[in-house]
């Protein structure tokens, strides 16, 4: 199967600081990438996505950066809040197969 | 709008018992998926269905069967449960090229 990995399994940040969560993906043919947030006891929820023809996409307090040269994806959260504490997964998708491959996740702890 | 609904939310089985996990979506999505998530791990794809009437194996299909009953429903069956199948199971749905929406999960314990 495909491999999507994360560099940092746990990240602790101070409330108000910016957070950066990284992800390495393996398939250069992947068409589409998504970041999901999973709170304890819940299913993953969509945060932001980016297509392979883009380098950057911004949402509300979140930015995703895609570096296809090194097959790297990052999620930046501005002014991190306690409600941002969760596990974050990146996923890569190949359109031809419409299958989502997930990494092992990064747990974000926001300290008050 | 319910999204993706899974039943049951919790289940305890004895080794060798069988059960079916139910999943239904009301978003008219073509594709549906079953994942399992072990503690501290990511989601691993068990089976998926790209459209009504089709199913395909994912990364970890052994010990499971699926049925795409209609466009809305995609069930996962464990014929003879094993302790190694203790996990949280998530169903998801999507349309091609768009994000997947997940259910709340079924926490299964096999003793």
pLDDT digits (tens, 9 = 90+) for A4-59: 544 448 899 999 999 999 999 888 888 899 999 999 889 999 999 999 999 999 99
**Mean pLDDT throughout B31-44?**
88
Mutate to test the interface with A, among B23, B43, B88, B103 (most CBs of A within 10 A): B43
**Mean pLDDT throughout B72-98?**
93
- In angstroms, what separates the C-alpha of A3 from chain B's closest C-alpha? 11
Indicate yes or no: CB of A44 within 8 angstroms of CB of B102. Answer: yes
**Confidence band for A1, pLDDT divided at 50, 70 and 90:** very low
Give the pLDDT score at A6. 40
The phi and psi torsions of B60 (rounded to 5 degrees) equal -130, 65
Give the pLDDT score at A8. 43
Q: Is B55 on the interface with A (CB under 8 A)?
A: no
Give the pLDDT score at B38. 87
Indicate whether B58 pLDDT > 50.
yes
Confirm if A96 and A82 have CB atoms less than 8 A apart: no
**Mean pLDDT throughout B12-31?**
96
Q: Is B92 on the interface with A (CB under 8 A)?
A: yes
- In angstroms, what separates the C-alpha of B25 from chain A's closest C-alpha? 14
Give the whole-angstrom CA distance, residue A22 versus residue A76.
9
Burial B40-76 (b: 16+ CB within 10 A, else e): eebbbbbbbbbeeeebeebebbeebebebeebbbbbb
Nearest CA in chain A to B104: A43
To the nearest whole number, what is the mean pLDDT of chain A? 88
**Mean pLDDT throughout A82-101?**
85
3-state helix, strand, coil in chain A (%, to 5): 5, 55, 40
Give the pLDDT score at A97. 63
Give the pLDDT score at B48. 92
Q: Which residues pair with A102 in a beta bridge?
A: A91
Indicate yes or no: CB of B42 within 8 angstroms of CB of A103. Answer: yes
Indicate yes or no: CB of A43 within 8 angstroms of CB of B90. Answer: yes
Indicate whether A96 pLDDT > 70.
no
């Amino acid at each position: 199967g495909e491999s999507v990995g994360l560099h940092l399994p746990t990240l602790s940040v101070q409330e108000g600081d910016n957070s950066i969560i990284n992800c390495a993906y393996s398939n250069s043919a992947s068409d589409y990438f998504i970041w999901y947030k999973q709170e304890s006891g819940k299913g993953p929820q969509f945060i932001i996505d980016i297509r392979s023809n883009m380098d950057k996409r911004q949402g509300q307090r979140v930015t995703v950066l895609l570096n296809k040269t090194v097959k790297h994806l990052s999620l930046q959260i501005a002014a991190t809040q306690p409600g941002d504490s969760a596990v974050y997964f990146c996923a890569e998708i190949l359109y031809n197969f419409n299958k989502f491959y997930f990494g092992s996740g990064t747990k974000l702890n926001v300290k008050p | 709008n319910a999204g993706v609904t899974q039943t049951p939310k919790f289940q305890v089985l004895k080794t060798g018992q069988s059960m079916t996990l139910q999943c239904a979506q009301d978003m008219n999505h073509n594709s549906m998926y079953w994942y399992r998530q072990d503690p501290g791990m990511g989601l691993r794809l068990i089976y998926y269905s790209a459209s009504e009437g089709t199913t395909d194996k994912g990364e970890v299909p052994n010990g499971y069967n699926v049925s795409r009953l209609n466009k809305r429903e995609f069930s996962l069956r464990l014929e003879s449960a094993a302790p190694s199948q203790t996990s949280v199971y998530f169903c998801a749905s999507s349309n091609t090229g768009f994000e997947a929406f997940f259910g709340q999960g079924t926490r299964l314990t096999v003793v």
